[in-house]
Structure 1
Amino acid sequence: MKTNKGPTPGPQPEPWWGRIRRRIITWRLHQYFAQSAASALGSGAVSLILLWFRSRY
């Protein structure tokens, strides 16, 4: 018995809505990381200011 195997299909092109969805997810991740970094830096700065103020007075 002989099987007729055609050429294997390559990866299908991504639909337009798939590209938009991926961009939105990437944008949200970037936003989340930027917000987290800003919060961490901001809280660190506030802690330093409080320590400086307590040691000064």
Structure 2
Amino acid sequence: MVTQAKAKAAKRPSAGPNLATTGADDNTTAIAAGGAVVLAAGVGTLVVLRRRTADADA
């Protein structure tokens, strides 16, 4: 069993010195920060609207 696994591993092509890219680049931080700002704005809007409706019902 172990020798078969080693034989299969030996037949696989090597990645060589170049690894696959993951898609992350310099824009990743800016995109994440923009998403956090949009999320925070949405949460803030919900909080304000719920307080207004709670005050109107009281």
The letter for the 1-side match of 2:20 is P
What are the equivalent positions in structure 2 for 1:1-57 lying under 5 Å apart? 7-9=14-16, 10-12=19-21, 18-19=25-26, 21-52=27-58
Name the Cα RMSD after superposition.
2.5
Give 1:14 shift. 7.5
Number of equivalent positions = 45
The letter for the 2-side match of 1:8 is A
Q: State TM-score, norm by structure 1.
A: 0.62
Q: State TM-score, norm by structure 2.
A: 0.61
Runs of 4+ in 1 over 4 A off after TM superposition: 12-15
Q: % of aligned pairs identical?
A: 4
Unaligned 5+ residue runs, structure 2? 1-11
Give 1:8 shift. 1.1
Unaligned 5+ residue runs, structure 1? 53-57
